[in-house]
Amino acid sequence: MSGANELGRFLRVRRAALQPEDVGLRGFGVRRVPGLRREELAMLAGVSPTYYSRLEQGLSTNASDAVIASIARALNLTPDEQAHLFNVARPAQTPKRRAAARPDHARPGMLRLIDSLTGTPAIIIGRRSEVLGWNTLGHRLVAGHLDVDSPGRLPDRPNMTRMLFLDEHTKELYTRWQEEAVRAVASLRVLGARSPEDPALAALVGELTVRSPEFCELWAEHPVERCVFGVKHFRHPEVGEFELNFEVLTPPDDSGHRVLMYTPDPGPAAEAVELLGRDVETRLPQWSRR
């Protein structure tokens, strides 16, 4: 997941997705490969074909902000994709010797906060989409087949992305699984650009690439999006089909933690959440008793 390689792959995928007509050019003849040619993209960005080729080959890592912005415009990138392009073009510098990463944990105050949201499913997610904590309703919503205390045990800690691709219960939970899969990969791409030398994140991507053909295919397409709100479509084994709005809140610190919360619209979805919350076990997760 090194920056130079990521930059080249991202540029090639995005260039291949554009047709000459998309950017106001006329296409002549049969093209051997899909999308714009390198020299066409270079012309649109106002750089030399040789320089642009070096960027795609990972041979130049000092492009100016103006050049990167010009290439982003030529590729018709979305705001999230533009930010991603700057991140992979400016990989964070890490020291050659790094201290071993300590196990990540959610703050006790954050765990108490989500536990207080008794009518709202809530999950705390770490830097690599691992579950650092959930309230009882959040657990019942997305992973009732797992032990409620599993986020507190490192060997058993669930990972939202791993579950989505490798856990059959989670696959069956979403009526629009493909939509969820694209979101997950797009978010993982954003995380990867921010932490290009994170060995645990690289290991997660490697595992999913080997074990999930669906992930491998989506990862190669290089989707990029900060998925911080929207709607998820559930087919829950206990309460049936319903839709929930979701919001992702990020604390103003450098922890990289995120709080994922689900809220229903009035009507059947609200009734489903209320039904899911009935007869919840009286015991709380272990962190609530600390």
Among 23-37, 80-94, 119-133, 141-155, which stretch is predicted with the lowest mean pLDDT? 23-37
- Sign of the alpha-carbon torsion through 224, 181, 131, 5: negative
2 has pLDDT over 60: no
Q: Residue 218 CB: number of other CB atoms within 10 A?
A: 21
pTM for the predicted model, two decimal places = 0.78
The CA distance from 153 to 213, in Å, is: 29
Taking residues 240-258, report their average pLDDT. 93
What is the percent of the chain with per-residue pLDDT over 90, rounded to a whole number? 54
| Inter-residue contact 174 to 234 (CB < 8 Å) | yes
Please report the pLDDT score of residue 4 as a whole number: 58
Residue 213's Cα: distance from chain center in Å? Answer: 17
Read out DSSP for 193-210? HH-TT-HHHHHHHHHHHH
Q: What's the pLDDT tens digit per position in 182-225?
A: 999 999 998 888 877 788 999 999 999 999 999 999 999 999 99
The CA distance from 246 to 122, in Å, is: 10
Domains of the chain: 3-89 (1.10.260.40), 108-289 (3.30.450.180)
Taking residues 249-266, report their average pLDDT. 93
Please report the pLDDT score of residue 289 as a whole number: 44
Please report the pLDDT score of residue 98 as a whole number: 46
